[in-house]
Chain A
Amino acid sequence: MDSHHQDPEEFYVKQDRIGKGSFGEVYKGYDKRTQKTVAIKIIDLESAEDEIEDIQQEIQILSQLDSPHVTKYHGSFLKGSHLWIVMEYCSGGSCSDLMKPGVFREEYIAIIVRELLKGLEYLHSEGKLHRDIKAANILLSAGGDVKLADFGVSGQLSGTLSAKKNTFVGTPYWMSPEVIKQSGYDHKADIWSLGITAIELAKGEPPYAELHPMKVLFLIPKNPPPTLEGPFSKMFREFVSYCLQRDPRDRPSARDLLKHKFVRMAKKTSYLTELIERHERWKAEGGERVEEEERQHVEDIANSDPEDLWDFGTVRHAATVGRAQMNSIKVSGPPLTWENTGRAPSDDSEDSVSGGSSTLSRRGPSASTEATTVNSMTELPPLPTSSPSTSRKFDQQATIRNGSVAAAARRQPSDEYDDDYEDETNGYVAGAVNGRPPVDDELPDTTMLDSVVLPAIASLFPRVSTQEARVALSALQRAFTDAERIIPGVTMELINEIVDSVEHVEDDR
């Protein structure tokens, strides 16, 4: 049949690769018809861990957004098994890139935060959540306009705002306590992540960046909320503390936060072009080249074991090339007058470690609730075909994506009487999978079992070749599950111990 309408190369020219996102790669390109520059995200559906329906859901969400504070969606096209998602191009780059020459001064952060709040106000009024706010997902246009990007994990709140999502997505360091505890969350989860992002922009890293992401998963719900420490204004510190309140109900909405003094006093967005110029200058002076070498180093280590998913050894290696060292190469030339402290982002924590290698992927409980035999293939943890350690970003940036996102998103726009899906089971699957573990505020413990240990063991399956070995791995999974049932919390404690001992090894080095 006629399918020439679908060929993206009829309309767009793909140029240089500009990045690697949470799924797929991003290229710069242009529209042949208008000559306008675009960003093209390319996903190979054959190797993507997501179901096609889930990707379509995201496109559906993107297509309904139209705001100057959100990267605009232009269209999506299929070429073979490769999906091209064409988006607005932001030449300024991401805040994460722009921070490479050094952290941002407070007055720039105020501008960025105000613009983010406008973006969030729009999204939340549309009943949508971003769920992955962090510097890496904030882009700047050439003129300094701030845009929210990467809706890789955005979900749509069901029709009534009272309904809360119940899925596990985001990036550990930026996640709110309620998201980690899976006790249901709403738009206030984005407000928390905004507060963490403000700290990230001020300090170069989010709180707990020196710790392994797994450990962070239970420190965030357990500890008092982080605060902004350092030579910052009272209103900035107050703003951050408003965002970072444990009870989501205590956090103000985006609209309310726009009235806060910290952002009301902020300057025009055009000032942000100074950050772009600073980054250009830093690149011209060789900053990126040094970084490139460091990255090559990380890749060499990572490539030595491409199958690596939960190998703590890599964490240790990656730790030696954290941002602290990358930025230790000082930029020569004019002094960076806009630097608040004149220090590189991580200088204040000498033994700073940048994250661990972990694309956490939770074995989605929802996959079992809508079990059809074909769906079982989504229960695979992501095989590290494109090893997370080789990604351009620090491993810290790894975003958790999860099968249950899809199930939740699929119920949009409103699921008042959406009581189906359980009847999709059939004779072939009866009783094949365990039910969803009970979600309980007081028991983040099973999260560790479900989202960390079981997927980790599952990831070993492809690496063994005999049936006997597979049986042994299954036995191991069952043993963990049994132990957790008899000694609730044991998995978390065990992981705690392991993580601690890994960190001690680091200290010894």
Chain B
Amino acid sequence: MNFFKSKPRTPPDLVRGLRDALPRLEAGQPGSEVRRKAGEEVAKNLQQIKAILYGDGDPLPELVAQLATETYSTDLLYHLLVNIQRLEFEARKDVVQIFNNLLRRQIGARFPTVEYLSNKKEVLFAAFDGYKNEDVALNTGMILREMLRHEPLAKVLLQSEQFYTFPHYIETTTFGVSCDAFANLKETLTRHKAMVADYLDKNYDRFFSTYTTLIRSENYVTKRQSLKLLGEILLDRANFAVMTRYIADETNLKMMMNLLRDKSKNIQFEAFHVFKVFVANPKKPPQIEGILRRNKDKLLKFLKDFHNDKEDEQFSDEKQFLIGQIQNL
């Protein structure tokens, strides 16, 4: 009989209880009593940890601090991620919420969980590996997105070999997961501008040769979204140097000119917003100017009939500007 049933368990008890229960999720046979009990123990502890972190809108800082310290010292976050596919539906959601809360925890200007994770890169890569399993990919995707808000963690991913497996996940998973992976790729490439600009400058060839595979994808969504993101990256002032290189390359111009004639109107439109940068460049390299000049008449005719049904004033202005530029070649 348990006389102390109502006594609340301390944060270290909860974390250790959870940490110890996780390996038992695959003990014994599937469906065995050991596993069932471990599952219950895990679910219960996750709920209690969540309750401490979120309080009733009013968490106790002391308990939260104890809890955080204990999760770091037991590597709980890593073990939660590598076991997430063994958890029940609601327990998976609890894991996401616990991660998000801890990642946002701030003491003055410091983010203790971010500092911890910066030294434990395997946690971030465990979240990234969630894309290998569609059942959990949307949960781990949310955790990854929360991590990528923090520059040190985004930098870890951007500079890793794993970063170059994004296209694989984007191309081989079903729509929801593929979009989630793309959203995280976008997050990595757009949130921390100076850091990304520096990276792209130093890794220009490798990055763009990989990125081009997305633009050339057979998948409608991948093609459309990656083209749109390319436009955003190139038009960001932080990426001026990268843009200059991109628009000096005639292969890129040819690709965009072909995409302007894609069968999808949306893809044509996204391509326009990259194409315009080549034309607007006041210092066009000779090979770029050559292509534009060779196609001058065709381009003028093409642009005249291009998306005339758009009521977007800015688009019309930009199109008129391009027509002017091309006429003056």
Contact = CB atoms under 8 A, between A and B. Distances in A.
B172 A1 contact: yes
B312 interface: yes
Contact of B221 (A78, A374, A414, A465): A78
A15 B316 CA distance: 43
B176 A60 contact: yes
B308 interface: yes
Given A52-B221, A420-B191, A46 B235 contact: no
Interface stretch (A95-103, A193-201, A421-429): A421-429
B221 A377 contact: no
B237 to A, nearest CB: 6
Given A53-B183, A414-B100, A75 B176 contact: yes
A470 to B, nearest CB: 7
A414 B89 CA distance: 21
Interface in A395-423: 413-414, 416-417, 420, 423
Given A1-B217, A52-B225, A76-B176, A426 B312 contact: no
A63 to B, nearest CB: 5
A81 interface: yes
A16 interface: no
A230 interface: no
B313 interface: yes
Interface in B137-174: 138, 142, 167-168, 171-174
A58 B191 CA distance: 22
Best-surrounded residue of A53, A377, A417 (most CB of chain B within 10 A): A377
Contact of A413 (B90, B142, B217, B311): B142
A60 B96 CA distance: 13
A413 B142 CA distance: 9
A491 interface: no
A432 interface: yes
Interface stretch (A2-10, A210-218, A351-359, A443-451): A2-10
Given A52-B224, A64-B93, A377 B172 contact: no
A413 B100 contact: yes
B314 A373 contact: yes
B273 A374 contact: yes
Contacts of A424: 190, 232, 236
B220 interface: yes
A66 B89 contact: yes
Nearest to A414: B100
B130 interface: no
B311 A470 contact: yes
B104 interface: yes
B171 A2 contact: yes
A23 interface: no
A6 B219 contact: yes
A371 B270 CA distance: 15
Contact of A46 (B183, B228, B266, B318): B266
A66 B225 contact: no
A363 to B, nearest CB: 11
B246 interface: no
Nearest to A429: B314
A189 B138 CA distance: 28
Contact of A474 (B100, B219, B265, B313): B313
Contacts of B276: 428
Best-surrounded residue of B179, B225, B264, B276 (most CB of chain A within 10 A): B179
B176 A373 contact: no
B235 A6 contact: no
A373 B219 contact: no
Contact of B264 (A46, A76, A373, A420): A46
A45 interface: yes
A160 B59 CA distance: 12
Contacts of B237: 426-427
A80 B176 contact: no
Contacts of A75: 174, 176
B175 interface: yes
A331 interface: no
A3 B218 contact: yes
Interface string B300-329: 000000001111111110100000000000
Contacts of B228: 374
Contacts of A63: 138, 176
B43 to A, nearest CB: 14
B269 interface: yes
A380 interface: yes
B99 to A, nearest CB: 11
Given A52-B179, A78-B219, A426-B237, A373 B318 contact: yes
B235 A77 contact: no
A77 B174 contact: yes
B259 to A, nearest CB: 14
A458 interface: yes
B179 A59 contact: yes
Nearest to B269: A377
Given A2-B172, A56-B179, A428-B318, A379 B312 contact: yes
Contacts of A373: 231, 235, 273, 314-315, 318
Given A161-B57, A428-B318, A462 B311 contact: yes
Contacts of B289: none
Interface in A447-484: 458, 461-462, 465, 467, 470, 473-474
Given A60-B138, A377-B312, A470-B316, A46 B265 contact: yes
A391 interface: no
B231 A374 contact: yes
B314 A376 contact: yes
Contact of B104 (A2, A66, A414, A423): A414
A254 interface: no
Contacts of A5: 172-174
Given A413-B142, A428-B235, A60 B180 contact: yes
Contacts of A314: none
A462 B309 contact: yes
B174 A380 contact: no
B5 to A, nearest CB: 25
A209 interface: no
Nearest to A373: B273
A176 interface: no
A71 to B, nearest CB: 16
Best-surrounded residue of A63, A373, A413 (most CB of chain B within 10 A): A373
Contacts of A159: 100
A77 B312 contact: no
Best-surrounded residue of A45, A78, A374 (most CB of chain B within 10 A): A374
Given A59-B179, A428-B318, A470-B311, A3 B219 contact: yes
Given A374-B270, A424-B232, A428-B235, A417 B104 contact: yes
A426 B318 CA distance: 14
A83 interface: yes
B159 to A, nearest CB: 22
Interface in A127-170: 159-162
A59 B176 contact: yes
B268 to A, nearest CB: 11
A426 B236 contact: yes
Contact of B311 (A59, A423, A458): A458
Interface in A64-102: 64, 66, 75-78, 80-81, 83
10 contacts: A3-B218, A6-B174, A60-B142, A75-B174, A78-B175, A81-B220, A373-B231, A417-B104, A433-B314, A458-B311
Query: Closest 4 CB pairs between A and B?
Result: A461-B311, A56-B179, A1-B171, A76-B175
